[in-house]
Structure 1
Amino acid sequence: MNAIALSKKSLPLRRSSRVLIARSAVAIAATLAFGACTTTFAQDSGGSRFERHHGGEGRDVKVMIISMFGPEGQVWLDRLGPWKAIKVPGLSPDYPDVHCNRQDICVMTTGMGHTNAAASLMALTFSDRFDLRRTYFMIAGIAGIDPQQGTIGSAAWAKYLVDFGIQWEIDAREKPDSWPSGFLGINTKTPDQKPPLDYRTEVFALNAKLADTAFALSRNVTLSDSAEAQTARAKFDYAPANRAPKVIQCDTLAGDTWWSGKYIGERARVWTKQLTDGKGVYCTTQQEDNATYEALKRAASTGRVDLNRVAALRSGSDFDRPYEGQSAADNLVNYATQGGFAPAIENLYRAGNPLVQDIATHWGEWCDGVPAR
């Protein structure tokens, strides 16, 4: 083999080497940028409470995506790998691993319902496997949706998390005639009174700046749809129920009971207004978010988590009430025929990934908090 041939054969190796060197340089720069972040956490006379008990060790995480059941997590696992699976004691036996990639983006799945969500988040945040002090947490799950605020497939960023389960309830067949439903706040006399919030988990306000930034990054993305969803929404004679899905901003209601109906739906709107002093607008109904946030709040009280770094995204998989002429029972029992499940799962990724990638790829702007833009 002559020298010219040898030189030509060496070129691919040299190119490959240059690519590897460039990639390594990028990785090193990202690591240095991550380590250089100067966020100050809760201090006391003994130093950071987190550092005293945790040692400040564990894998750094830029974004932790919180899903509730398999398909919600899988839409991320299919797109952002390769992944490293990290077992965390105390997570759901159905989802015992947290998956993390080279961008320091991780995905966890809690299990459905408020009990699973709280237990899994407590296990995660008090584990020594991760350093979560600078981590952005993004709840990303599907939900029922109010047809006056969105439609099947719409993706909604929330500023308020409201618990629908912490109420008194009288069977609607036995309620006073003047009451619009059988619900009222605990330790109130009438349904129009705001309760004293003795549980301290009834309502949480998220970082509005983060919610606005997430919305701004994703508001123009094209969302997924399906023929079945188009047929379902066409049965409504008003917007936005009968329009194409888009990214929106409105608030989310948690409660383990799946419900359907005009009157319960009206209560959901009123309850959200009551608990947020008129600032919140109900649009999605799910099971877990208040429990998830409370677990993060407990971790934040020890310096392990920054509550200003929590975002909540919910996509509409089905309507929370029937169209005119449909029964509430049919809307609930046959919710799957609305065709919203697949678009809602896909749209968690489409609406959520702009925020995830902005944080991961511009960490220098995000590491000390939500950037001013």
Structure 2
Amino acid sequence: MLTRILAASAALTFAACAAVSTVPARADDDTATQSADASHGRPVKVMIISMFGPEGQVWLDHLGPWQEIPVDGLSPDYPSVHCNKQDVCVMTTGMGHANAAASIMALTFSQRFDLRHTYFMVAGIAGIDPQRGTVGSAAWAKYLVDFGIQWEIDAREIPANWNTGYLGINTQNPTQKPSLDYRTEVFQLNSQLADAAFALSRNVTLTDNAQAQAARARYGYAPADLPPTVIQCDTLAGDTWWSGTLLGERARDWTRILTDGKGVYCTTQQEDNATYEALKRAASAHRVDLNRVAVLRAGSDFDRPYAGQTSADNLLNYAAQGGFTIAIANLFLAGNPLVQQIVTHWSQWREGVPQQ
């Protein structure tokens, strides 16, 4: 599941950056806000959504200087949004479904920003399927699937003719598609935006390191044992951090079931369905545009073991795979081409994704 190394120190890292940023903006001294439509707040071209400190820090390190803008209702660990002169902003939600939903709701209903034309880019690390990518690979998604909204039978008591203990709620077996009563089980992103993001970044050379190279070599098959690249495949959300070959098979199957065979699972994380649902509610109030949401997840660890390794070892020693540092770096390398394309050619992007 999603790598979350030293969350407490991550919070301190992000807080340290905030401490050296400019004086927090106020309604009476925020030049950008004064120049914007007073009823809508500061306009934002791109809002980068990170989930914990290092994911946000990589953007803060590259695209400053920054103005710090406190927003009521954000995580107490990350209480401010940081914006630069290009109208690119970075926020950090806090980890997990609850933090993501609460923070995005606070952001989108704040009077401090005009988000009606904003492009939102989720940029975070994730576990990755070794048959679809490798540690360090950066994946643009078209589908967001929730892995947590299922029925579960104790693994020791799975019926003999089933290959998993998971099944859709109110279904009769693991192969049936549920009725989607929660309305958050699966979301389809704007494929035109996803394709544009991929086209802009697909030839970017990503960061790698010797530790990750050694870890991926143990898999002995492609693409797991190849250098990281930018790819397109879909992401699975759930607060339970898991590891295992059979769970990985269920992740693939569940993605196919909920997307009617159109989605291809490759990354696993905790927040994205919650983030999107909060944006969807803001869109219903005409505060954001759901056609402007992109999701980028970089593999920081494999979601299942290599041959001869146990799932427990894969999970407990995930940090030994060496993917955390390169995944963080590759979020910026893969995501920044889209950010810069939007802000540099804003006249073409303001009214929507340009035709390719």
Q: Please report the TM-score for the alignment, with normalisation by the length of structure 2.
A: 0.90
Partner SS for 2:63: coil
Amino acid at match of 1:254: A
Amino acid at match of 1:61: V
Q: Distance in 1 between matches of 2:97 and 2:210?
A: 32
Partner SS for 1:79: helix
* Counterpart pick for 2:253 among 270, 276, 280: 270
* Counterpart pick for 2:126 among 122, 128, 143: 143
Amino acid at match of 1:202: E
Q: How does 1:278-317 map to 2 (within 5 A)?
A: 278-317=261-300
Q: Deviations over 1:291-335 (max 9, x none)?
A: 000000000000000000000000000000000000000000100
Match of 1:221 in 2: 204
Partner SS for 2:261: coil
Partner SS for 1:161: strand
Q: Distance in 2 between matches of 1:145 and 1:196?
A: 28
CA positional deviation for 1:271: 0.1
Q: Deviations over 1:38-91 (max 9, x none)?
A: xxxxxxxxxxxxx9xxx7420000000000000000000000000000000000
Does residue 1:328 correspond to 2:304, yes or no? no
* Counterpart pick for 1:370 among 347, 353, 356: 353
CA positional deviation for 1:106: 0.1
* Segment drifting more, 337-346 vs 55-64: 55-64
Amino acid at match of 2:181: D
Q: Deviations over 1:104-159 (max 9, x none)?
A: 00000000000000000000000000000000000000000000000000000000
* Counterpart pick for 2:51 among 45, 68, 89: 68
Match of 1:13 in 2: none
Does residue 1:171 correspond to 2:151, yes or no? no
CA positional deviation for 1:226: 1.0
Gap regions ≥5 residues in structure 2: 1-31
Q: Distance in 2 between matches of 1:281 and 1:292?
A: 20
Q: How does 1:30-49 map to 2 (within 5 A)?
A: none
Amino acid at match of 1:315: A
Does residue 1:152 correspond to 2:99, yes or no? no
Partner SS for 1:73: helix
Match of 2:173 in 1: 190
Q: Distance in 2 between matches of 1:231 and 1:173?
A: 35
Partner SS for 1:99: strand
Q: Distance in 2 between matches of 1:106 and 1:82?
A: 11
Q: Deviations over 1:201-220 (max 9, x none)?
A: 00000000000000000000
C-alpha RMSD of the superposition: 1.2
Match of 1:207 in 2: 190
* Segment drifting more, 179-188 vs 66-75: 179-188
Amino acid at match of 1:331: N
CA positional deviation for 1:169: 0.4
Does residue 1:250 correspond to 2:233, yes or no? yes
Instruction: Give every structure 1 segment of 4 or more consecutive aligned residues whose post-TM-superposition deviation is greater than 3 Å.
Output: none
Number of residue pairs the alignment of both structures matches: 323
Partner SS for 1:106: strand
Q: Distance in 2 between matches of 1:163 and 1:177?
A: 26
Partner SS for 2:182: coil
Q: Distance in 1 between matches of 2:203 and 2:40?
A: 39
CA positional deviation for 1:94: 0.0
Match of 1:24 in 2: none
Q: How does 1:231-250 map to 2 (within 5 A)?
A: 231-250=214-233
Gap regions ≥5 residues in structure 1: 1-30, 36-50
Q: Distance in 2 between matches of 1:317 and 1:209?
A: 27
Does residue 1:79 correspond to 2:62, yes or no? yes
Amino acid at match of 2:69: I
CA positional deviation for 1:237: 1.6
Partner SS for 1:252: strand
Q: Distance in 1 between matches of 2:253 and 2:141?
A: 17
Partner SS for 2:179: coil
Q: Distance in 2 between matches of 1:57 and 1:258?
A: 39
Q: Distance in 1 between matches of 2:330 and 2:154?
A: 37
CA positional deviation for 1:97: 0.4
Amino acid at match of 2:231: I
Q: Distance in 2 between matches of 1:204 and 1:261?
A: 25
CA positional deviation for 1:346: 0.2
